[in-house]
Structures are given as C-alpha cells and as structure tokens.
Amino acid sequence: MGASEFDINSTSPFGILERLRLGIPIEDAVILTVSQLSEYIKRKIDNDELLQGIWVSGELSNVKCHSSSGNLYFTLKDEDQSQIDCVMWFEHTLNLTFQPADGQHVIAKGDVRVYPQRGRYQLYVKELRLCGVGVLWERFEALKRKLEAEGLFEPSRKRALPKFPEVIGIVTSPDGAAIRDIVRVCKKRCPRVQLILIPTLVQGADAAPQIAAAIKLANELNMFDVLIVGRGGGSIEDLWAFNEEVVARAAYESQIPVVSAVGHETDFTILDFVADVRAPTPSAAAEMVVPDLMELQTRFQKLLERFSFAIESFLRSARQRLNALTSRRIMRSPEELLDIRRQRVDELHQRLIYSFSNTVLRLRQRLASAEGKLQALNPKGVLERGYAYVRQPKTGEIVKSVHMVSVGEKLEVVLSDGKLKCEVEAITPNEG
C-alpha cells in the first residue's frame, strides 16, 4: 500500500482521518459516508501484515456450501463463544481432505479482510485442517450416550398426542418468531383452541434452568393437554440450552406429552430424543398438535354424504324388494294362498294318519312275534309237552348230570301240573 493514499496533506477523507490519528488539529468537520469509512477500515486491515496468512483455531458452525459457486461459508467459534465469519473460495475447497460439518474442531489458515458491503471483517480461508470433534459436539454426544443408557430415549415410554386438545402450553421466548408461528398456525387450524405461553429464555447461560422450570410449572398447573417446547433456528450455540441435562430430565419427568420444536428440520437437540414427539419446526409442531378444523369439517361432510348415499341405496333396494313382492300374484290374491295352505294341511293330516296307522301295525306285528318267541322259550310250555326237570329240594338247584346225585338222595321232580318227591335207588350213566 503506497503512503500517498494516507497523505496527511490530502484533503480526502483518508488524509483527514490520518491527520486525526496523528493528533493534528483539523478545523473543518470530518463527515464520511458509510462506504468511505468501511473502505478506510478495509485498507487499514489489508495493510496489516500480522493479519495475513494467520492460523486460527475454533469449532465449525453454520457450515454452508453455496449450491452454484461451490464456495464454503462457515463460522469459527471458541469456548468463550467468540466467533468470526469465514469464507473459503471454491478453488481452495478442492484441496480439502474431509467434509466440513458443524461441531468439528479445525485450524484455518487465511487472511483477515473487511467485507465493505456489510462493514464486517472476515477470515478468507485458504487451508482448513481437521483437529477433532468440537467441545460442544463432544458434550452433546457424551450426554446423549448417558441419557440413552438410562432409558430416557426409550420409544415404549413415549405417549401419543391427544387428538383434540383444548389447552396447549407453549414454552418459548415471548419475543421470538417461534411463538408467532405457533399462534398463527394454531389459530388458522382451530381458532377455538386455547394457547397459553409460559415465557422463558431460549438462549444463553440462564436459558436451560428457565426452560426446565417452565416445564415443571406447566405440570404443577395441571391444565394443559400438551406442551410445545422450542424456539426458532440458530447455530449449535444458540440452541445449546435444549441440549442441557436439566431440560432433558424435566421433559422426561413431565406428565404432560411434550413436543420438541427446536430450530429447523436439520437441527437435532437432546430434547428431540427425550420428548414424546419431535417436530422439525415450531410451525410443524403446531400442525401436529392442533387438528385442522376445516379439514375435519370436510371429512365430516364427506362421511355425511357417504352415510346419506348408503341410506338412500338401502331404501331404494328395500323399495324394489317391496315392489317385487307386491307384484306377485299371491300378494294380489292372498285367499289363493290360504286355499293352497288349507289343502296342504289336509294332505299332511292324511299322511300323518296313514303313517301313524302303519307304525302301530308294525309295532303290533313286532309285539306278536316277540310274544311267540317268549312263549317258545317259556319253561312251562316245555313242561306241558310232557317234559320235566329235577332239582335239589333244599337249594332248588337243577340236576343236570347223574354225577350231581348219589343213591338214596331225595330229589324233587317238577312237572307242568305239580311236583314229585323221589328217592334215587340207582344211578346208570350213559355209555360211550
């Protein structure tokens, strides 16, 4: 940079500023445009060799790659939450050996320059080296592993949202875009739903305890059907309150179903894993929680139309059946049906009498046959034909063999008309 550009004798704004820097009094007031001031600062920084080719250590955040140019834009941050915007042109990104992502700890080499249109300084990165996972990302992963091991993310404990909530609690900042989006969507979908804001910080060191206290307060009030907890988008640092353990445990202990609505669809926080439902955005959370009244009315109208159509179809079918029945000859002349039925009764009566008579006759024949068989087997009938049987007089045992008696034994001979007392004089067995 030539010294003439800051000539103290020059009447240009830069010459005047240089005279002011050296303490030389100036009578005329110095009035600069914003562009002139930005350009002056830019030239001063560009001329400082200490700010050229420097290495800076930090954590990547808000990493974005321009879709058309391929240029990489990101922010470097440290543990003290200091940050600097960075740009890496496409020709330098070709040399990268890794895919930059939020949370990575890197060292970047580049030049500090001023972007005059915005009036801010940036680091124009030429080299980017991966040093490891960033501090915040390590804390996030460590807490995630811990809570998952304790069962706080267990799907079986997550509750379904009520289909028709009447009172919805909203834990967020009263000044953020999230509350405006939620209210707008809820009132559009169902104006009668009651929304109650439990205001809290959503960013900064005091945010996490306030969010946890708001969740506990909502449970103590015992008036909410569901709770929406969240905020709009931001960097990992902006959303960090929702990664704190105190918030996660408050959501886990909540008796009210909790919907996590933090950031954008690509943002994930610990609260997302603990909550009963994770919504990609606050607006989406409102859509999940509140039923669309117009949609319900449309569905009800369609169901009503289907029901009406079904009733009409049923009545039409019943009417056709009735017409078909009334058109039959028998319905026009019911006495004809009666005559047919009377004749049928007479026929059945005759068949019944005939069947009964045949049955009685068969039974009588069977009875006579049985009587004949019994008569043939009757011992008295055998005796009447001249036969007799011998038995022991005392026991009544029938003598079937000569070996059952002895000579001199008294026996009783039974005939058809009486009994004989006999004594055995001799026993002659059959030969052979």
- How far from each other are the two terminal CA atoms of the chain, in whole angstroms? 162
Same domain, 171 and 123: no
Burial class for 158, CB neighbours closer than 10 Å (0-12, 13-18, 19+): middle
The pLDDT value given to residue 210: 96
240 lies in some domain: yes
Which of these three, 291, 311, 329, is where a domain ends? 291
CATH number for the domain spanning 157: value is 3.40.50.261
* Co-location of 113 and 209 in the same domain: no
Task: Identify the helix (H) or strand (E) that includes residue 220.
Answer: helix 207-221
The pLDDT value recorded for residue 87 is 95
How far is the CA of 54 from the CAs of 49, 61, 113, 127, in angstroms? 9, 20, 12, 10
- The 8-class DSSP code of residue 398 comes to B
Pair (218, 232) in one structural domain: yes
What is the domain extent for residue 67? 51-133
- Residue 87's nearest CA partner among 111, 116, 118 is 111
| Predicted confidence pLDDT, tens digits, the chain (432 residues) | 444 445 555 656 666 666 666 666 655 555 677 777 777 778 888 778 888 899 999 999 999 998 888 999 999 998 877 899 999 999 999 988 888 988 888 999 999 988 887 878 899 999 998 876 567 777 888 899 999 999 999 999 999 999 999 999 999 999 989 999 999 999 999 888 999 999 999 998 899 999 999 999 999 999 999 999 999 988 778 899 999 999 999 999 999 999 999 988 878 899 999 999 999 999 999 999 998 877 767 777 888 888 888 998 899 898 888 887 777 766 667 777 777 788 888 888 888 988 988 898 999 999 888 887 887 777 777 777 778 888 888 888 988 888 888 888 888 988 878 888 998 888 888 876
What residue spans of 254-396 are helical by DSSP H? 270-274, 282-289, 293-326, 329-332, 334-377, 379-384
pTM of this prediction?
0.50
The Cα–Cα gap between 170 and 152 comes to 22
Task: Say whether both 57 and 161 belong to one domain.
Answer: no
- In this structure, what CATH number is given to the domain that contains residue 57? 2.40.50.140
Q: How many domains does the chain have?
A: 3
Q: Which of 232, 259, 291 is the last residue of a domain?
A: 291
pLDDT computed for residue 22 by the predictor? 67
Are 77 and 152 contained in the same domain?
A: no
Residue 88's CB: how many other CB atoms inside 10 A? 24
Look at residue 23 in the predicted model and tell me its pLDDT: 64
Given 79, 105, 133, which residue is the final one in a domain?
133
